[in-house]
Amino acid sequence: MMARRSQNGADRATSRPVTVSVDAMGGDAGPAPIVAGMAWSAQKNPDIRFLVFGNGAQLEKLVDKRKALAGRCEVRHADGVVTMDSKPSHAMRHGKGTSMWEAIDAVRAGDAQVCVSCGNTGALMAMSMVRLRKIPGINRPAIACLWPSRNPGGFNVMLDAGADIRADAEDLLQYALMGSSYARVGLGLERPRIGLLNVGTEEHKGRAELKLAHDMIEAASQHAPFDFIGYVEGGDLPSDRVDVIVTDGFTGNVALKTGEGTAKLIRELLKQAFNYSPLSRIAALLAVTSLQRLRKRIDPRRVNGGVFLGLNGLVIKSHGSADATGVSAAIKLAFELGQVDFPARVAARVASLSAPVQGAETDSGQVYGTPK
């Protein structure tokens, strides 16, 4: 059964200004590609405003070169930088005053609706949890990413993509609830189809926590606006039989990096194949439109941006190596979710479903969803 479109797409069409708080110093290539991505986004969308944090003098020079940012970008100086090799615990102890800390705090203070950072994932999650706090009822936040798929909308949602390598049955249930909200708001799906990633679709396969999570999510689907299709396998990630794939952070992050590496390999092999001979180069010229369309579909930069779900505030994690295209994609995602007050929608969804799910019992009398 194909998931039906909701009215959320119409909601997003009614545009209102969104201020994006940007950590400009955390990326691998420094602030230049980040400011370039901001400018690109500003050219495309007149309703975006920016607060950008980092080295004030350096950022002012970069911003002044971008006409699209004139009058729409405020630079706020921050002395420190959280490096990619910083341990989250060290970043927490010494992070106050860094560009990452200040960018998150702007969301906490209400100066911005959403924060975007290319910085250290572990540090960003740790700081976000401390400054923004978890939504009541959420044990562990998760990172949700978009995965190119055969679905009409072009994407599936997968979570967790690396926020926490551990996940028990209750965590996986909460990921399903949060992922359902993300699909409803971000993809405009009225009844997203939820799948639980496993080593096979047979009921007897998988770890004990997966079997328990299977029953818990199935019970939740009786009260929630999503359809649970059961177990899915790795080959279903880009398929059109599922909209939201639920897994633990270890498996999800490995799958994500594998997918990105495979997309890069395909691009390189296609380039080699069409440069192999004069005839193949002619064939490439004849197929240039189709090849460009394929390149866009498998370009990881265009789906850049993992959403931190389960926090009292909106944080988007961009790839550390993102160029202007990748940063712009993360900002576009931030804008769309910022317009609909996404954290409040997730909180309402979790609250509305937690009570009936926690009251559900198995045939053996075991109560699901008991608080940790």
Any domain includes 40: yes
**1 in any annotated domain:** no
Instruction: State the Cα–Cα distance between residues 173 and 133, nearest whole angstrom.
Output: 20
Local confidence band at 145 (pLDDT 50, 70, 90 cut-offs): confident
Task: Give the Å distances, CA to CA, from 86 to 26, 52, 147, 212, 229.
Answer: 11, 21, 28, 36, 40
Quick one: 41 and 117 in the same domain? Answer: yes
Is 223 inside a domain boundary? yes
Per-residue pLDDT of 12-44, as tens digits, reads: 445 678 999 999 998 888 899 999 999 999 999
Query: What does the alpha-carbon distance between residue 20 and residue 38 come to, in Å, rounded to a whole number?
Result: 10
Distance separating alpha carbons of residues 92 and 85, to the nearest angstrom = 13
Per-residue pLDDT tens for 214-244?
A: 999 999 888 888 999 999 998 888 888 999 9
Phi/psi at 74 (5° precision): -110, 125
Count how many domains the chain has.
2
Q: Per the domain annotation, does 2 fall within a domain?
A: no
Q: Are residues 68 and 213 in the same domain?
A: no
Confidence of residue 275 (pLDDT cuts 50, 70, 90): confident
Same domain, 58 and 17: yes
Q: Region 245-258: what's the mean pLDDT?
A: 88
For residue 217, is it within any domain?
yes
φ, ψ dihedrals at 194, nearest 5°: -100, 135
SS3 track for the chain: CCCCECCHHHHHHCCCCEEEEEECCCCCCCCHHHHHHHHHHHHHCCCEEEEEEECHHHHHHHHHCCHHHCCCEEEEECCECCCCCCCHHHHHHHCCCEHHHHHHHHHHCCCCCEEEECCCHHHHHHHHHHHHCECCCCCCCEEEEEEECCCCCCEEEEECCCCCCCCCHHHHHHHHHHHHHHHHHHCCECCCEEEEECCCCCCCCCCHHHHHHHHHHHHHCCCCCCEEEEEECHHHCCCCCCCEEECCHHHHHHHHHHHHHHHHHHHHHHHHHHCCCHHHHHHHHHCHHHHHHHHHHCCHHHHCCEEEECECCEEEECCCCCCHHHHHHHHHHHHHHHHCCHHHHHHHHHHHHHHHHHCCECCCCCECCCCC
Q: Are 350 and 142 in contact (CB under 8 A)?
A: no
Note whether 105 and 163 are same-domain residues: no
Q: How confident is the model at residue 262 (pLDDT cuts 50, 70, 90)?
A: confident
Residue 295 — pLDDT band, cuts 50, 70, 90? Answer: low
Apex CA 35: angle with CA 32 and CA 39, to 5°?
Answer: 135
- For residues 85 and 202, membership in a common domain is answered with no
- Structural domain of residue 149, as residue ranges? 138-303+342-372
pTM of the entire structure? Answer: 0.80
Question: Do residue 350 and residue 370 come from a single domain?
Answer: yes
Mean residue pLDDT of the chain comes to 82
- CATH code, domain carrying 214: 3.40.718.10
147 and 296 share one domain = yes
157-173, pLDDT tens digit by residue? 999 888 778 888 889 99
Same domain as 278, residue 149: yes
Are residues 336 and 241 both part of a single domain? no
Q: Is 263 in the same domain as 292?
A: yes
User: How many angstroms from the chain centroid is the CA of residue 291?
Assistant: 27
- Same domain? For 149 and 246 the reply is yes
**223 & 258 share domain:** yes
Contacting residues for 305 by C-beta, under 8 A, at least 6 apart: 116, 145, 146, 316, 317, 318, 329, 330, 333, 334
